[in-house]
Structures are given as C-alpha cells and as structure tokens.
Structure 1
Amino acid sequence: MEPKKFLLWLFIVTIVMLFAAMTSAYLVRSTDGDWLKFDLPNRFLVSTGVIILSSVTMQWAFGAAKNNNRTMLLVALTGTIILGLIFLKLQVDGWGQLVDQKVFLGGRYSNPAGSFVYILSGLHGFHLITGLIYLLIVLYSSIRTQAGSLNLLQIEMCTTYWHFLDLLWIYLFVFLQVNN
C-alpha cells in the first residue's frame, strides 16, 4: 500500500476509535437518572443533507480529475468547499437552537446530554475543518495543474477523507436521533 494512503487510513481508524469511545461514553452516561431529553435541532437534519450533497460534489471532482477535466475539477472542488462551509454554519445555527431550548455546554445550567451533543458535533466540526484545509490544498494544487489524471493520489486521499467525514456525521446524527 502506498505509504500516504496507509497513514490516511491509520488516521481514519484513530478518529473512528475516538468517536466509538465518545458514543460509548454517551450510552453509559445516559443510564443515570439526570439525563435530559430534548429534540435535536432541525438544522442538524438540514446539515446532513448538505454534507451528503458535498460528498456527491467531491466524487464529481474525483471523476473530473480521472478524466483530466480541469475545469470541472475546479468547479466541483469549489462546490465541495462551499457546501462544507454551509455545513459548518448550519452546525453553529444548530447550537443556537440548542441554546434556545435551554440546552447548554457546561456551566451551572448544563446537562451531560446537551454537553455530549455539543462535544460530538464540535469534534466532528473540527475534523471537517481539517477536511476543508485539505480541500483548499487540493484546489490550490489543481489550479497549479498538479492534480489530474497524472497525479490522482492527492485527490483520491482527499475524496476518501471527505466521504469518511460524511459517513461519520450520518452515524452521529442517527446515533443522536435514536439515543436522545
């Protein structure tokens, strides 16, 4: 296996382990009697659709790179970046909806249930920001014509990471919907 791909997969495995531990802790802690029940913000559902759409544009970018279609590659990468930023904005709006429901992160009026939602979505948001940085690097490379069918490794790795982030959010969203 190509060493850079191996490192990416090792990184993905560590993220999976982190979120597995966090969701396990969520389940264990939720058995205590003080667990707050509340509705997830509807912005989280909308953001789920946005991140799924961003995976479509990322796959489109990968296909354009394979076909050496630089214009479509740039359009698709830019679209993926824009959708990633919209996802993050919707997440922040979702946190605002949580505050409106009197669900807080830490402090005197907080509850572990709400804190877990903030931490899980925030931790995913952090990883999405790293994905956006990676996308910007690939976009810069593509503008400089270094990414294309002759150099697919960078865009392939970026596509893999972006799809992983998409699947991770879907898992978190479903997990929180079912267990909240």
Structure 2
Amino acid sequence: MEQKTREKSFKQMLWISMISMTMMFAGLTSAYVVSKGREDWVSFDLPGSFYISTILIVLSSISFVLAKSALMSASQSKTTLLLAVTLLLGLGFVFFQFSGFNELIDAGLYTTGPQSNVASSFLYVITATHLLHIFVGILVLAWVLFRNARGKYTPESHLGLSLSAIFWHFVDALWIYLFIFFYFIR
C-alpha cells in the first residue's frame, strides 16, 4: 500500500509541475500575440533547423514509448538500447535548436541589443525556456538510462522510468505546440 501512495504522490507532483509550466508557456505565447500588434513587429520565417529538431523530438517520444514497452516485456537490453536512442535524439534536438539560433543570428535577428526586435526576442526567450526543460529531461533520461542498465527497473517496479516518460512526452508536446504556434503566428 505504501508503494501505491508514493507513486500517486509523485505523479500528482509531476502533473502539478507540468500544469504550472503549461500556464507559464500560455502566458509567454499570449504576450507574443499581444505584442504582435506593435508597430515595430518584424515577421520572420522559422529556421530550417527547427523543422529538423521537431522531427527528432517526435522520434524521441516514439523511441521512449518503445522503451517502456520493451521494459514491460522484460527486455532490459532492448529497453536500454531504446532509452539510449531517446537520449541521442534528445541531444540532437538540442543541437538543432542551437543551430536554429545561429540561423536567426545569421539572418540578423538578435535577442538583445540595438539590432534586436521584439519578435525575435520573444522567440529566443520562449525557445530557450523550453530548452531549459529539455535539459532537465535529458538529465533525468540519462539517470533513467543508467538505472535501467544496472537492472533497477522491472515490469513491476518502474516508477522513475514512467515519470520520466510522462515528462519527456510533455516537453515533446510542448515543443510541437510552440512550433505550430510560431509557424502560424508570425
């Protein structure tokens, strides 16, 4: 009974955290929409690297689903492999996000300084805030990968892996929302 209470408590804390993060991003994107009416607003295309990073984050969620499925089938080595793939795809996402920032800078879109504009500053702030959450997800994913490789998760006991999967899918869905938002609201 104590394990079920512990599991329920951790899941509730995670959901409350994700709701808070959702509210923060809703506020940031709302501010973006309101600011779009400014006279000095500059529209721009999303960097090509953001398209690639979007594909990578979606693939990472798929590999995480497969990893959890492998765990539930008691295939520890397959789970470890798929968690490693998920981690690599997450790192690829980060790489292409930074490549996208470089593309923005090459296009003359800065976050601060005399050459900056409100639109690009919002894009940088929102995507960098999302990247912060991705970094947390990558650290957690690395920890879960390490623990799984040491045999700490079983089909009966996998709370850490399940919680990290929920969070990873959340940051994936959050990026998809942000990508679609920036694609259509420029």
TM-score bracket for the superposition, by shorter chain length = over 0.9
Task: Give yes or no for the alignment of 1:112 onto 2:123.
Answer: no
Q: Following TM superposition, where does structure 1 have runs of at least 4 consecutive aligned residues deviating by more than 3 angstroms?
A: none
SS of 2:116's equivalent in the other structure is coil
> How far does residue 150 in structure 1 lie from its aligned partner after superposition?
2.3
Residue of structure 2 in register with 1:84 after alignment: 90
Unaligned runs of 5+ in 2: none
Task: Give yes or no for the alignment of 1:169 onto 2:175.
Answer: yes
Conserved 8 A contact 2:77-2:149? no
Indicate which of 35, 44, 65 corresponds to 1:38.
44
How far apart in 1 are the matches of 2:154 and 2:68? 9
Percent identical across equivalent pairs? Answer: 34
Conserved 8 A contact 2:84-2:145? yes
Residue of structure 2 in register with 1:152 after alignment: 158
Conserved 8 A contact 2:64-2:86? yes
Residue of structure 1 in register with 2:145 after alignment: 139
Conserved 8 A contact 1:43-1:93? yes
Conserved 8 A contact 1:42-1:94? yes
TM-score, scaled to structure 1: 0.98
TM-score, scaled to structure 2: 0.95
- What's the Cα RMSD here? 0.9
Unaligned runs of 5+ in 1: none
| Count of aligned positions | 180
> How far does residue 137 in structure 1 lie from its aligned partner after superposition?
1.2
Write the letter of the residue equivalent to 1:101.
A
